[in-house]
Amino acid sequence: MRIVVVSDIHSNITALETVLAAAGRYDALWCLGDTIGYGPAPNQCIAAMMQHANVAISGNHDLACLGKIDLNDFNPDARKANIWNGKQLTAAHRAWLEELPPLQQIDHQFTIVHASPREPVWEYLLTPTQALANFPLFHTQVCLIGHSHVQMGFCLSPDGRCERFIPNHGDVLRLRDADRYFLNPGSVGQPRDQDPRAAYMIVDTLVGTVCFQRVEYDIAQTQHQMHLVDLPTALIRRLDLGM
C-alpha cells in the first residue's frame, strides 16, 4: 500500500494541491492534524481532507479554531489567524473537525498523533531524550507525528540507542523489523526547517520504505490570499523563509 502522509497544512490550499499533484497515485492519505490555522483557506483544506483522507487527527491549532483550547496559549499573530480561521468554517466542516481524535492507532504497525504520545496536542518532539521518553507510550512499531513543522525522524535500536536523522528531499528510509521509529513528514503549509518547500512523506508498506519529499509551490499565491483577508504580515513573510 502506498500511503501519502501530510501534516500541518495550515489552511494553505496552494501548497496542499501541489503536494497531492506531486504525490501521484496513492492508496491512502493520512493527515496528522493542524489542517487549519495560520493560512487563508480553511474550508478548502478541510474539504480536500474530507474528500481524500482515509484517517485524520486534530492538532492544537484545529482545536483552538474550534474554541476547544484557550487562544491565550498562542502568540498574538497565531491567535488572530486562529480566530479568523474559526469564523470562516462552514457547519459541515466544523462538525468534521470536531469529531477528530488527537491520536489514533491505525493498525499493528502505525500510530498517528499530532504532537507526541505523552502530550498528543502540545509537545514539540525534537530531541532523542524526548523520543526515548515517548517510545514506551505507544504500542506499534512506528509513530507518525507532526506539530514541529520539521521533517525528521528518530530510530530506536534493540540495544536502546536512539538516533535522530534529518532527511534530504528524496531520501528513502528502509524500516527494519527490530527497530522502532518516530517519523515526522514536516509541514505542508508552513515549513519551519529553513526550507520553504512543502513537505510530505510517502510510506510504502509493501516494501517497507518511507520516502521524504519536498516540493516547490506558488508561495506568492498563498501570500496574496493571506494579504486579501488581512492576516498578520509576519505570518505572510515567514512562508518565504521556511521559518
Q: Are 97 and 35 in contact (CB under 8 A)?
A: yes
What pairing do the DSSP bridges indicate for beta strands 162-165 and 103-105? unpaired
DSSP, res 176:
P
CB of 61 to Zn ion, least distance (A): 6
Q: Given the complex with Zn ion, which of 63 and 131 has the nearer CB atom?
A: 63
Helix (H), strand (E) at residue 143: strand 142-145
Q: Assign residue 155 a region (left: φ > 0; alpha: ψ between -120 and 50; beta: otherwise).
A: beta
Q: Which residue is nearest to Zn ion (CB)?
A: 34
Taking a C-beta distance cutoff of 8 angstroms, is the pair 143, 106 a contact? no
Closest separation between CB of residue 65 and Zn ion, Å? 12
Least separation, in Å, of the C-beta of 59 and Zn ion? 6
First and final CA of the chain: distance in angstroms? Answer: 33
Least Å distance, CB 60 to Zn ion, is: 7
Query: Which CB, 24 or 72, lies closer to Zn ion?
Result: 72
Checking phi first, is residue 149 left (phi over 0); if not, alpha (psi -120 to 50) or beta?
left
Beta carbon of residue 175, minimum distance to Zn ion (angstroms, whole number): 25
Which residue from 74, 49, 48, 51 is spatially nearest to 61, judged by alpha carbons?
Answer: 74
Q: Which residue, 96 or 124, is less far from Zn ion as judged by CB?
A: 124
**What burial class does residue 241 get, using C-beta atoms within 10 Å of its C-beta: 0-12 exposed, 13-18 middle, 19+ buried?**
exposed
All residues at 6 or more sequence positions from 220 whose CB lies less than 8 Å from its CB, including other chains? none
Q: How far is the CB of 192 from Zn ion (least distance, A)?
A: 9
Whose Cβ is closer to Zn ion: residue 34's or residue 193's? 34
- The candidate with the shortest Cα–Cα distance to 14, out of 221, 176, 153, is 221
Nearer to Zn ion, 101 or 141 (CB): 101
Of 149 and 180, nearer to Zn ion (C-beta) is 149
Q: Which letter does DSSP use for residue 69 in this model?
A: S
* Residue 52 cell numbers, joined: 481524500
Binding site for Zn ion (CB under 5 A): 8, 34
- Closest to Zn ion by CB, 162 vs 198, is 198
Considering the complex, what minimum distance in angstroms separates the CB of residue 158 from Zn ion?
Answer: 33
